[in-house]
Amino acid sequence: MTTQFAETYGFERSAVTLATWRTAPFSRFSFGHAGEVVPSAMIEATAETTEGAPVTSGLLHKKLGEGLAGQQDVGAYLGYAHTDAFVLMKAGRIVAEHYAPHAGIDQRHLVFSISKSLTALVIATLEADGLMDPQAEVTSLLPEAAGSAYGDCKIRDVLDMRVSLAFDEAYLNTDGAYARYRRATLWNPADPSRPDETLLAFLLTLKKDAHAHGGAHFYASPNSDLLGILIERATGERYVDVLSKRLWKPLGAKNHGSVTVDAEGTARAAGGISVTARDLARVGEMLRNGGMVDGRRIIPETWLTDMLTAGDHEAWVDGEPNFFPNGRYRSQWYQSGETDGAFCAIGIHGQWLYVDPSHETVIVKLSSQPNPLDDELKHDNFAFFRALSALDL
């Protein structure tokens, strides 16, 4: 007998395990229900509020000129790009939305490395209150990092992914340091032949590479998990509570968020956050408005200006990989370097928060893209967002 679950997703719930949850087709369910797979903690909104019906729009049937990636209209492109949830805002108003049959307007979705960008926004507020200094040494808050790769670097090096780190960000690795990392975060099954590690214990085993800190951009997710731990050390509070108090509630988020945690309750600040597409769009709209929501300042103007202008272009182009040829990376956010001033947060498997201030546009695209990276599709998505931003809606 076929169950309702199988009719919705094409497989039974029992097929989604810790060994399969990040692979297709099972990710269609698990990316929207990460808390059923990995232990998670709640990021509280002031009160959960049902969003109501999605905004309907003829935009989904709008032709894409000669066609983008062979797709003739917006709706077809969203299907091609494995889209679970899509929100387009223009001048502060949602003008189009799309949710796959297995998704929904009030459903949280794992945003992967967009978590990094949200984590950095929390640090912006801590700096403003004198609780964290990006120019300070990591060991000023985490003395046990002495002797690790983080023992002689600044928090700013961590924020900008300029830590000298002997680590390979190999998402499909099944052995070695990256596999240990996944197991420590409880994202992969335990290996009975190897000892269990917590996330912090794993981070403290990482070693410095041959070059100095502060050099070329080197993307490594453990850096951002370290930032989550530094937030807890700076405040004496849990990561989820700090994020709730300093970002989620002031933002006016309508739904609670969540973040996966390890065996000690340490948050996966680098990639474990799940939020709704609309709430993520609210983050983008807040940034488009200079860090303000309804006349209240959420993110300090000085931090936002620095985030958008102070990234080192040479460090970016000297690093690998380089997606934006004119771009920069600062405080866990990508600056495109294009004349429209677009900036974004990006997560593997096709997660995007894209902000184009010159066209007053915010776009959220949450996906269950089978390939975690897929550089060709990343370029297609960027071209798609630029095309949408340029539309007069």
pLDDT in tens, 313-332: 999 999 976 789 999 999 99
Catalytic machinery residues? 113
Q: Are 172 and 157 in contact (CB under 8 A)?
A: no
Rounded-to-integer distance, Cα 206 and Cα 165, Å = 7
Task: For residues 103 and 236, state if they share a domain.
Answer: yes
Task: For residues 177 and 313, state if they share a domain.
Answer: no
Q: Count of domains in the chain?
A: 3
Question: For the stretch 56-80, what's the b/e string if a residue is b when 16 or more beta carbons lie within 10 angstroms of its beta carbon?
Answer: ebebbebebeeebbebeebbbbbee
Residue 326's identity, in one-letter code, is N
Residue 6 lies in domain: 1-30
Rounded-to-integer distance, Cα 87 and Cα 286, Å = 15
Task: For residues 287 and 383, state if they share a domain.
Answer: yes
- pLDDT tens, 101-155? 999 999 999 999 999 999 999 999 999 999 999 999 999 999 999 999 999 999 9
Q: Which CATH number fits the domain that encloses residue 161? A: 1.20.58.710
Task: For residues 267 and 145, state if they share a domain.
Answer: no
Task: For residues 290 and 351, state if they share a domain.
Answer: yes
Q: Is residue 302 part of a domain?
A: yes
Find the angle CA(100)-CA(103)-CA(107) to the nearest 5 degrees. Answer: 150
pLDDT at 215: 96
Last residue of some domain: 222, 237, 264?
A: 222
Q: Is residue 78 part of a domain?
A: yes
Please choose, from the candidates 334, 328, 260, 255, the residue with its C-alpha nearest in 3D space to the C-alpha of residue 112: 260
Task: For residues 118 and 148, state if they share a domain.
Answer: no
Helices 301-309 and 114-128, interaxial angle, to 10°? 130
Q: Is residue 35 part of a domain?
A: no
Token pair 């990094």: residue: 116
| Mean pLDDT score across all residues of the chain | 95
Q: Is residue 113 part of a domain?
A: yes
Beta strands 63-68 and 273-275, pairing class: unpaired
Task: For residues 99 and 187, state if they share a domain.
Answer: no
Q: Is residue 117 part of a domain?
A: yes
Task: For residues 172 and 279, state if they share a domain.
Answer: no
Structure tokens of 24? 């297709």
Q: How far is CA 346 from CA 236, 238, 305, in A?
A: 29, 25, 20
pLDDT at 173: 66
The reply to whether the predicted model has a pTM over 0.85 is yes
Task: For residues 218 and 232, state if they share a domain.
Answer: no
Q: Is residue 273 part of a domain?
A: yes
Q: How far is CA 92 from CA 95, 116, 127, 273, 282, in A?
A: 9, 24, 28, 24, 9
Please choose, from the candidates 21, 65, 64, 309, the residue with its C-alpha nearest in 3D space to the C-alpha of residue 188: 21
Q: Are 344 and 355 in contact (CB under 8 A)?
A: yes
pLDDT at 171: 65
What is the DSSP secondary structure assignment for residue 347, as one 8-state letter? E
Question: For the stretch 320-354, what's the b/e string if a residue is b when 16 or more beta carbons lie within 10 angstroms of its beta carbon?
Answer: eeeebeebbbbbbbbbbbbeeebbbbbbbbbbbbb
Rounded-to-integer distance, Cα 332 and Cα 79, Å = 29
Last residue of some domain: 195, 222, 249?
A: 222
Q: Is residue 36 part of a domain?
A: no
Q: Is residue 54 part of a domain?
A: yes
pLDDT at 172: 67
pLDDT at 322: 73
Task: For residues 80 and 162, state if they share a domain.
Answer: no
Q: Pick out the chain residues at pLDDT < 70.
A: 171-174, 321
Task: For residues 264 and 372, state if they share a domain.
Answer: yes
Q: Are 309 and 321 in contact (CB under 8 A)?
A: no
Q: Which CATH number fits the domain that encloses residue 383? A: 3.40.710.10
pLDDT at 118: 98
275 has which bridge partners? 109
Rounded to 10 degrees, the C-alpha dihedral 373/374/375/379 comes to: -110
Q: How far is CA 94 from CA 177, 361, 384, in A?
A: 43, 10, 17
Last residue of some domain: 189, 222, 255?
A: 222
Task: For residues 181 and 233, state if they share a domain.
Answer: no
